[in-house]
Amino acid sequence: MKKSIKLIALFVVFQLSTLSISAQEKAKQIEQLLNKYNEYGQFNGSALVSENGKVIFKKGFGSANMEWNIPNQADTKFRLGSISKQFTALLIVKLAEEGKLKLDVPISTYLPDYPKENGDKITAHHLLTHTSGIPNYTNAPNFFKDKSRNPYTPAEFVKTFSSLPLEFKPGEKFNYSNSGYFLLGYIIEKITGKTYEQYLQEVVFTPLKMVNSGYDHSDVILKNRAAGYEKQGKKIVNAAYLDMSIPYAAGSLYSTVEDLYLWDQALYTNKLLNEKSIESLFKPYISAGRAFYGYGWFIDDVDNGDKEKLKTIGHGGGINGFNTIISRYPTDKNLIVLLNNTGGTVLGEINDAIRAILYNKPFNQPKKSLALDLLDIYDTKGAVAGTESYKKLKNDPTYAIKEGDINRVGYQLLQEGKKKEAIEVFKINTETFPKSGNAYDSLGEAYLADGDKKLAIANYKKSVELDPTNENGKKVLAEISK
């Protein structure tokens, strides 16, 4: 009998040792992967990965402050962008759970000054699921030029979009709108009598001991805060200033990978909400392209190889100088958090590779982004030289054509007034990603800027055909087709 107990004990120790080695090996692969993405200029930030609820990897890469060579670490604070929406959604559901708000009544109930023509049609549920029809304020013409640097109170900023006509009947379809989540923050303030920031701190950050998270204010001295940068080809510049009253409840929070792990773990418990309320966050209410949208989260069944589907709950974020992603795999309590402070980058691609490592699946090794080299050539030598270089390099196995990177290069050229060059760059995306509605939308915008209405219309039509949720594309198409 004693011998059997010893054998069982040895077996358990062996199993634990095997699991430990497995986790260590995965951590090693993740580190190698992120080192290579960092080397190629595609990841500069902090990462955390947990398996079965236990952290197996956390580390910073590159610089939090490039002027002082201060490295990113696991406790570096990053602006989250739209990851903030999941916190706003939880606060609204909390108020509903407490009977202080109903999700299915008109928002004019809580915002009596909101124009009744629209306020009587829209509910908090519509705002939570991006189905309100309210135009997205960040899509407004010259938004970044005219409004993004100026401070507003919530009441003042709501007036900038509250009287605009709805893009569609509330509940009819999904169209991602920061305006909806801005309004949710304003509703929280009206109901609680507290600022959005105060209520969030009280309900979420303090109970979960998320001491490195909060509402970001540019004027506050914040220890370990990463500076935000943007890439211009291979060149890196300081990100443009953004007054943090503008993103508000749609995107003004900061956090660390470690704090977001605490947040992830709490969502498996009833610390913040009861079970029914937690479940309501993750229901697939409306189709959002390839995924569905819940309350502040995208819900998807991703292909995990061998015809296996894996439930994913996640969200990305992008804000001046920062790019973020959180991916939860609730079946196994796995988590991937990536926070980057050099603007837009291929976090989705990186996330997919880390997920493959977690599940022992094959994955694509990092490649250099062709876009980074092409920008320099299009920018300095013109459209013909840029396209010739593209033809030479596109089959080079060390490079990859990355849709997001190509798109950003195209827009940079467009902003510099180099319309012909931008058109050639956007053409690369439509040729490489012929099923991408966004690629055709960008090309249409470039043709329109260049004064070619015929080709602008053709490309916008193709964009809307491929992506029926592209409301902005439909709007532009209607205007230029008159």
- Sequence length of the chain is 482
Q: Strand 334-340 relative to strand 78-79: parallel, antiparallel, unpaired?
A: unpaired
Sequence-distant (≥ 6) Cβ neighbours of residue 376 within 8 angstroms: 233, 234
User: What are the pLDDT digits (tens) for 71-93?
Assistant: 999 999 999 999 999 999 999 99
Place of tokens 């196995």: 397
Name which residue leads in pLDDT, 402 or 158. Answer: 158
Q: What sections of 40-153 are H helices per DSSP?
A: 84-97, 116-119, 124-128, 143-146
Neighbours of 317 (CB within 10 A): 25
User: What are the pLDDT digits (tens) for 171-190?
Assistant: 999 999 999 999 999 999 99
Instruction: Please calculate the CA angle 110-115-116 and round it to the nearest 5 degrees.
Output: 75
Looking at the predicted structure, is the pLDDT value of residue 54 above 80? yes
Share of the chain above pLDDT 90, in %: 80
pLDDT range class, residue 145, cuts 50, 70, 90: confident
pTM over 0.75, yes/no: yes
Q: Read off the pLDDT of each residue in 254-266 and give the average, rounded to a whole number.
A: 98
Residue 175 CA to chain centroid, in angstroms?
15
- C-alpha–C-alpha distance, residues 415 and 422, integer Å: 9
pLDDT range class, residue 21, cuts 50, 70, 90: low
Contact 378, 410 (CB under 8 A): no
Q: What domains can be seen in the chain, in order of their start residue?
A: 81-214+233-358 (3.40.710.10), 368-480 (1.25.40.10)
Looking at the predicted structure, is the pLDDT value of residue 283 above 60? yes
Sequence-distant (≥ 6) Cβ neighbours of residue 199 within 8 angstroms: 91, 188, 189, 192
Looking at the predicted structure, is the pLDDT value of residue 63 above 80? yes
User: What are the pLDDT digits (tens) for 317-361?
Assistant: 999 999 999 999 999 999 999 999 999 899 999 999 999 999 999
- C-alpha–C-alpha distance, residues 256 and 465, integer Å: 39
